[in-house]
Structure 1
Amino acid sequence: MLAGYRCNACDIDVHEACADYFKEAVAFFAHPWHSLTLSRIPAAAAGWACDLCEEECAPRSFVYRCARCMFDVHPLCTMLPQTIRSPLHPGHDLCMVPSSGHCSACHGDLPVWQYVCGGDCLIRLHIACVSGVPSGGDSLLAGQSSAAGAGAQQLGSFASQQTAGGG
C-alpha cells in the first residue's frame, strides 16, 4: 500500500509523492496560451478525456485544465517531453506535435498529439509506443492502483532521462 493523504470532506485520496510533486498550476508546451490549473473532474462527469493522449479521465480524478479553452491533460501527460530520442528511431529527434496518421510502430490510429520525426522520415509514434508506458495515468492521483504508481515511476524516469539527455 502506498502512503498518502485523505480528505474525508472532499472524498479525495492523493499519494504522498503526488501531493509533493504536482503543482497547482503549470505551463505546458501543448497549450502555450494559458497556464493549466490542477482541477478535479466532477463525480457525475462522463466522457471526459485527456486532450493530449485522448484516454479517458475518470470521474473524480485530477486533470490540468485551461477553463478558458476547455483544454484538459492528465497530470502525468504534462511530464512528457516535447522533444525526445527513441530507440525506435535513433537517427533523429522526435517532436510531439498535433498531426494525424498511423503509428509507425504498432500501426494503430494516432491521437491528435503524437511524436513525429523532426527529419524527413515520416515516422509517427504513439506516446505509449515511444515511452513504453501506457497512456492515461490519472488513476495515480485518484489513489486507486499500485500498478498506476509503478507506471508513474516509469513515466517519471522516462521523462527525467529525456530531460537529462539520456534517452
Structure 2
Amino acid sequence: MKYGEIMHFSHPHKLRFEYVEVPFKCDGCKEVGIGSRFKCSVCDYDLHKHCALPTAATVVRHPFYRKCEFQFMARPPGDLPRFCNACEKDVNGFVYHCSSCGFDLHPCCANLPHVLDAGDLRLYLYRKVGGSCHRCGRKGRSWTYRSSCKKYNLHVSCVMEMLLDSWHDIYFGGGGHGSNVTMNKGFMGNNTKIPCIRGAKINHHRSKGKVKRCCELAGLALQFIISAVLGDPTAIIAGVIGSFIPRG
C-alpha cells in the first residue's frame, strides 16, 4: 500500500509518509521507531505508521486477549501510571485500552506480527513460553518471540531494554537502565548500535561451522524481532539493523 500526505487529529499540519534508516521518537505513543513514519515538514513531529493510521474499527480484538475489547486512545485513561502488557514499558501516549480488564497495548505492540519469516528461521509470537529468554534468562514475563526450532526465545520487553540501553550509551555516555531511559527527540542521530543477544554463542562442543551457523541464526532472529518492535517488520530494515550488530 502506498501512502502520501495525511491530516492527523493530533497535529495541525499535514504529515508526509517517508522511510528512514535512522531511529526516531514517535510523538504519538512516545516510543522509538525506525523505517516507515509520517513526518511533518514544517516542525519536528513524527508518527509511527500504526499511530498515524490506527485501526479503523471502533473496537479491536487481540487473539491473546479474546475477551477484551481494545479502543484507540490519544492518552492513557486515568491518573495512575500504566504499562503496556506486551513490552511492559510505560504508556505515555497513544494506546489501545480495554476498559473492562484494564489491559493496555502500545499501537506498535498491538500490531506485532504473529509470524516473522526470516528465511532460514521462522519466529512465532507467544503471550508466554516455557523456555528461558536468551537475554534475561528468565521464563514468562512479557510477550515472547520463539523460533520454530525452539532454540531462541526473546522477550519483547528485553528487546526494548536492549535498544534503550544501547542508544543511551551512545548519546548520553552510558548509564541506561532500560525502561527508565527518557527518549528525547533531540538525541536521535545517524548512528545507532544494537548489541548482540546473550546466548548467541552457545554449545561450544559443536564444530566451528555449526557454532557459526548458530550465531548467524540467533543474530537473524534478533534483527527481525527488533524490526517488528520498532514498528516496521520488513526485511530491508532487518538488513539495516543487522549491519549494526557486532560480529564475534
Same fold per TM (> 0.5)? yes
2:116 pairs with 1:84: yes
Shift in Å at residue 94 of structure 1? Answer: 1.5
TM-score (normalizing by structure 1):
0.58
**Over alpha carbons, which structure has the higher Rg?**
2
Shift in Å at residue 125 of structure 1? Answer: 1.2
Q: For residues 147 and 51 of structure 1, what CA distance do their matches in structure 2 show?
A: 27
Q: For residues 147 and 21 of structure 1, what CA distance do their matches in structure 2 show?
A: 26
* 8 Å contact from structure 2 (residues 83, 89) kept in 1: yes
Return the letter of the residue paired with 2:101. Answer: C
Shift in Å at residue 95 of structure 1? Answer: 1.1
- Give 3-state SS (helix, strand or coil) of 2:231's partner: helix
- Give 3-state SS (helix, strand or coil) of 1:156's partner: coil
Q: For residues 27 and 69 of structure 1, what CA distance do their matches in structure 2 show?
A: 13
Return the letter of the residue paired with 1:27. Answer: R
Q: How many residues align?
A: 138
1:81–1:92 Cα change, 3 Å: same
Return the letter of the residue paired with 2:144. Answer: Q
Q: For residues 69 and 46 of structure 2, what CA distance do their matches in structure 1 show?
A: 24
* 8 Å contact from structure 2 (residues 133, 153) kept in 1: yes
- Give 3-state SS (helix, strand or coil) of 1:95's partner: strand
Q: For residues 129 and 73 of structure 1, what CA distance do their matches in structure 2 show?
A: 16
2:123 pairs with 1:94: yes
Q: What is the percentage of aligned positions where both structures have the same residue?
A: 21
Paired residues for 1:23-102 under 5 Å: 23=55, 25-39=59-73, 40-42=75-77, 44-46=79-81, 48-58=82-92, 61-86=93-118, 91-97=120-126, 98-102=128-132
Shift in Å at residue 77 of structure 1? Answer: 0.7
Shift in Å at residue 38 of structure 1? Answer: 1.1
Question: Which residue, out of 164, 185, 194, partners 1:145?
Answer: 185
- Give 3-state SS (helix, strand or coil) of 1:77's partner: helix
Higher RCO structure, 1 or 2 (CA under 8 Å, sep 6+): 1
1:152–1:124 Cα change, 3 Å: closer
1:21–1:161 Cα change, 3 Å: farther
1:84–1:55 Cα change, 3 Å: same
TM-score (normalizing by structure 2):
0.42
Alignment correspondent of 2:205: none
Alignment correspondent of 2:155: 126
Return the letter of the residue paired with 2:98. Answer: C
2:107 pairs with 1:116: no
Shift in Å at residue 69 of structure 1? Answer: 2.2
- Give 3-state SS (helix, strand or coil) of 2:146's partner: strand
1:101–1:64 Cα change, 3 Å: same
1:146–1:82 Cα change, 3 Å: farther
Structure 1 runs not aligned, ≥5 long: 7-12, 163-167
Return the letter of the residue paired with 1:125. Answer: L
Shift in Å at residue 43 of structure 1? Answer: 6.2
Shift in Å at residue 53 of structure 1? Answer: 0.9
Q: For residues 95 and 116 of structure 1, what CA distance do their matches in structure 2 show?
A: 5
Alignment correspondent of 1:9: none
Q: For residues 124 and 186 of structure 2, what CA distance do their matches in structure 1 show?
A: 30
Q: For residues 152 and 94 of structure 1, what CA distance do their matches in structure 2 show?
A: 13
Structure 2 runs not aligned, ≥5 long: 1-7, 13-26, 29-44, 165-177, 191-225, 237-248
